[in-house]
Amino acid sequence: MSAPSAAAKPAWYRNLTRYDAMDLRRAIWQLVNTFVPFVLLWVVMVLLLNNGYSYWLVLPLIVINAGLMVRIFIFFHDAVHGSFFASPLANKILGYVSGILTFTPYEEWRRSHSAHHAMCGDLDRRGVGDVWTMTVQEYRDASPWQRFFYRFYRFPPVMFGLGPTYMFMIVHRLPSKGARKRDVWSVHLTTLGCVAMVVGMMFLVGWKTYLLIEVPTFVLSGAAGLWLFYVQHQFKGVYWARRGEWSYVRAGLEGSSYYKLPKVLQWFTGNIGLHHIHHLRPRIPNYNLQRCYDEVPEVRAVKPITLGESLKCLRLRLYDEEGKRMVGFRELRA
């Protein structure tokens, strides 16, 4: 991933490096306070279902379980950036284990996600690891079929319903074009691990019990994860620029949102709502993001998006280069 040149860095940006420090005790505590309840919830849900209790008793536990799955994906995400542990080997082990749990290949996703960070907000380098976004002019110039397909892709039930299933079940099972040998192996090893996990769990707890728990957990956590990613880069005043005018620091501060969530949701989402800080300095572990926000005035200057306000992002579909903002299809017609 490319970083800004020294000349492009303001003085306060360089001070962010002090938050890179990884804390082994905090990292291990995060694993304990997430994986232990995750396993215990599975045990409780299996016992309830296999002993004939109502599925309605299990559903609230599935919602919590899905939240823990989102948190596990954040650990995977940190491991991809090499920021969860100081040890590269420990990050890789965590990446592969959490990658199998979340159906995501570690090496392959690291490559595409690095591209996302390097190109975020660059109108001339869209299409890798991001949400497909057309400009107003591109949409006007598109064929009727292209417009239909774009509207279908951006339709919320498709994007947050079918989208995660397509991404995690199909896209993540196939190496992308130009993938390196280790990326290809990562895809295949993760797929084998996923198959072993699914088959093993079906034999252990019963196929029906496993599917009654895993399917809704997968759907809810996938929708929540995609929603977080969407809100982080699809808001009204989001920064986009052509290659010659693009700025890494502005892409971080203005091209990534500060999604201010209630504390309980901030915990489940591993502080990823502080996404503008993450894009400015991806090496900062999730457990240091809040401290960075509290201590650096420049990152606090970013206007937060609240949970209620984020719902308005659903109607945003296109980027208006002239107005420098996201707009909806209704505004386009007007």
* Three-state SS annotation for the chain: CCCCCHHHCCHHHHHHHHHHCCCHHHHHHHHHHHHHHHHHHHHHHHHHHHCCCCHHHHHHHHHHHHHHHHHHHHHHHHHHCCCCCCCHHHHHHHHHHHHHHCCCCHHHHHHHHHHHHHHCCEHHHCCCCCCCCEEHHHHHHCCHHHHHHHHHHHCHHHHHHHHHHHHHHCHHHCCCCCCCHHHHHHHHHHHHHHHHHHHHHHHHHCHHHHHHHHHHHHHHHHHHHHHHHHHHHCCCCCCCECHHHCCHHHHHHCCCCEEECCHHHHHHCCCCCEHHHHHHCCCCCHHHHHHHHHHCHHHHCCCEEEHHHHHHHHHCCEEECCCCEEECHHHHHC
Q: Which residue has the higher pLDDT, 257 or 9?
A: 257
What pLDDT score was predicted for residue 1?
Answer: 43
- Does 152 score more than 70 pLDDT? yes
Report the pLDDT value the prediction gives residue 334, as an integer from 0 to 100. 66
Q: How confident is the model at residue 122 (pLDDT cuts 50, 70, 90)?
A: very high
Residue 2 pLDDT class (50, 70, 90 cuts): very low
Q: Contact, 98 vs 70, CB < 8 A? A: no
Taking residues 245-253, report their average pLDDT.
Answer: 91
Q: Does pLDDT of 6 surpass 90?
A: no
- pLDDT over 70 (residue 4): no
* Structure-token pair, residue 156: 């919320």
* Of the ranges 71-80, 171-180, 305-314, 323-332, the best mean pLDDT one: 71-80
Q: Are 320 and 239 in contact (CB under 8 A)?
A: no
For residues 202-211, average pLDDT:
97
Residue 8's pLDDT band (boundaries 50, 70, 90)? low
Residue type, 308: G
At residue 5, the pLDDT reads 46
- Residue 210 CA to residue 216 CA, distance in Å, equals 10
Whole-Å CA distances, 137 to 99, 127, 223: 38, 17, 30
Residue 169 predicted with pLDDT over 90: yes
* Bridge partners (DSSP) listed for residue 259: 305
Give the pLDDT band (50/70/90) at residue 140.
very high
Mean pLDDT along residues 134-154: 95
Q: What's the CA gap between 175 and 194, in Å, rounded?
A: 16
Average of per-residue pLDDT values in the chain: 93
Query: Is 80 exceeded by the pLDDT of residue 66?
Result: yes
Summarize pLDDT for 283-308 with one digit per residue, the tens.
999 999 999 999 999 999 999 999 99
pLDDT at 202 (0 to 100): 97
Give residue 199's pLDDT band: very low, low, confident or very high (50, 70, 90).
very high
pLDDT of res. 283: 95
Read off the pLDDT of residues 39-55 as tens digits, 9 standing for 90 and up. 999 999 999 999 999 99
181, burial (CB in 10 Å: exposed 0-12, middle 13-18, buried 19+) = exposed
pLDDT at 229 over 70: yes
Under 8 Å CB-to-CB from 194, ≥6 apart: which residues? Answer: 100, 103
pLDDT band at residue 178, thresholds of 50, 70 and 90?
confident
Instruction: Give me the pLDDT at residue 314, please.
Output: 92
Q: Minimal CA–CA distance to 234: which of 144, 317, 331?
A: 317
